[in-house]
């Protein structure tokens, strides 16, 4: 079986963390923690060339190598997982994805994904994404909630991909971040690329691809344990982790972000406080402009309630 080799160097802030927990929280590779432990025991995950135990405490600048088997092109099982379908016709569906739900199966994680749920709830899905990604036109990070469009046939899929690639799809997000941005409204225009030292992270770099993120402050809380801001965010490009990288770069990381916020565990939130709340596109068949709004998920509302109470 062919393998995908992932190399990760440990940043200073993760010194002495358990290796299985670090990989699970920081790589976002859709690999379950139990499967990570299995790979460690089988010697498929090494540190500085040596095999370790799942309880191994990583050290700053350790080089972790992960030999991940390619997912098998096996038939996937439909699963009755609750998903919020906000719109559906013969060609597309729009869902409001809950946080914590992986988009598609990966190695050691063939079940309990959005794809398994789609196979159960929708009668047809496009085939362009292959066996393990039917209907998937774009994606959200596992812990990001919100609106996604699903293609139910290949013609719809091709047109939606064209709209995304031509930047014709409008997406708006909301986030709770640490601190207060310097400006009430700003377009962050900073290119993003892969981090040279820490390969699991993206970063602002001159050699990166164009990335444009606009934010507007909706509300600010100045409470005993810090200052927090509620941001409304427009994406003009679609780079990996774009919102999270840009907000961290200006000193206002998303609360609960395990990769781009050094103090992410401090706030004890179950998922990062970022959600896709608005989606506008042209229907891939009729050409009619359609848009969808979603409210904030409960874990973000719970954090806001705490801030309001403290305020």
Least confident of 13-22, 28-37, 131-140: 28-37
Q: Do 183 and 272 share a structural domain?
A: yes
- CATH (domain of 159): 3.30.2350.10
Q: Is residue 59 part of a domain?
A: yes
Distance CA(192)–CA(228), nearest Å, equals 25
Q: Do 263 and 175 share a structural domain?
A: yes
Q: What are phi and psi of 280, to 5 degrees?
A: -130, 130
- What does pLDDT average to over the chain? 90
**pLDDT of the residue at 108:** 61
Instruction: Please confirm, yes or no, whether 154 is among the known catalytic residues.
Output: no
Q: Which of 136, 166, 196 is the last residue of a domain?
A: 166
The total number of structural domains that make up the chain: 3
Q: Is residue 295 part of a domain?
A: no
Kindly state the average pLDDT of the residues 95-104: 90
- CATH (domain of 57): 3.10.290.10
Distance CA(60)–CA(50), nearest Å, equals 16
Q: Do 183 and 263 share a structural domain?
A: yes
Q: What are phi and psi of 84, to 5 degrees?
A: -95, 100
pTM: 0.84
Cβ–Cβ under 8 Å, residues 255 and 303? yes
List, in sequence order, the alpha helices (H) in 171-311.
242-249, 298-310
Q: Do 216 and 176 share a structural domain?
A: yes
Cβ–Cβ under 8 Å, residues 226 and 126? no
Q: The domain containing residue 84 runs over which residues?
A: 72-166
Q: Do 241 and 123 share a structural domain?
A: no
Q: Which of 112, 135, 166 is the last residue of a domain?
A: 166
Cβ–Cβ under 8 Å, residues 292 and 94? yes
Q: Do 224 and 100 share a structural domain?
A: no
Please check the confidence at residue 103 and state whether its pLDDT lies above 70. yes
Q: Do 77 and 54 share a structural domain?
A: no
Q: Do 20 and 139 share a structural domain?
A: no
Catalytic residue, candidates 141, 143, 232, 257: 141
Q: Do 194 and 304 share a structural domain?
A: yes
């Amino acid at each position: 079986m062919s393998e995908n080799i992932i190399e990760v160097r440990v940043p200073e802030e993760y010194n002495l963390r358990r290796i299985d927990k670090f990989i699970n929280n920081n790589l976002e590779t859709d690999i379950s923690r139990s499967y990570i432990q299995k790979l460690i025991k089988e010697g498929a995950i090494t540190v500085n060339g040596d095999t370790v135990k799942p309880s191994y405490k990583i050290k700053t600048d350790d080089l972790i190598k992960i030999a991940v088997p390619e997912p098998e092109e096996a038939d996937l099982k439909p699963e009755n997982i609750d998903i919020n379908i906000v719109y559906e016709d013969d060609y597309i569906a729009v869902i409001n994805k809950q946080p914590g739900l992986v988009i598609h199966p990966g190695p050691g994680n063939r079940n309990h994904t959005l794809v398994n749920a789609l196979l159960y709830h929708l009668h047809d899905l496009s085939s362009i994404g292959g066996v393990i990604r039917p209907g998937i036109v774009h994606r959200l990070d596992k812990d990001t909630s919100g609106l996604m469009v699903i293609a139910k046939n290949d013609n719809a899929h091709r047109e939606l991909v064209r709209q995304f690639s031509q930047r014709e799809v409008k997406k708006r997000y909301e986030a709770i971040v640490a601190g207060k941005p310097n400006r009430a409204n700003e377009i962050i225009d900073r290119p993003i690329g892969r981090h040279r030292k820490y390969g699991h992270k993206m970063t602002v770099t001159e050699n990166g691809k164009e990335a444009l993120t606009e934010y507007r402050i909706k509300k600010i809380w100045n409470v005993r344990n810090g200052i927090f801001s509620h941001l409304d965010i427009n994406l003009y490009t679609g780079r990996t982790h774009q919102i999270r990288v840009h907000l961290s770069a200006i000193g206002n990381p998303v609360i609960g972000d395990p990769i781009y916020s050094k103090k992410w565990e401090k706030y004890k939130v179950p998922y990062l406080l970022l959600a896709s709340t608005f989606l506008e596109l042209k229907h891939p068949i009729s050409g009619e402009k359609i848009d969808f709004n979603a409210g904030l998920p409960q874990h973000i509302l719970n954090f806001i309630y705490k801030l309001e109470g403290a305020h």
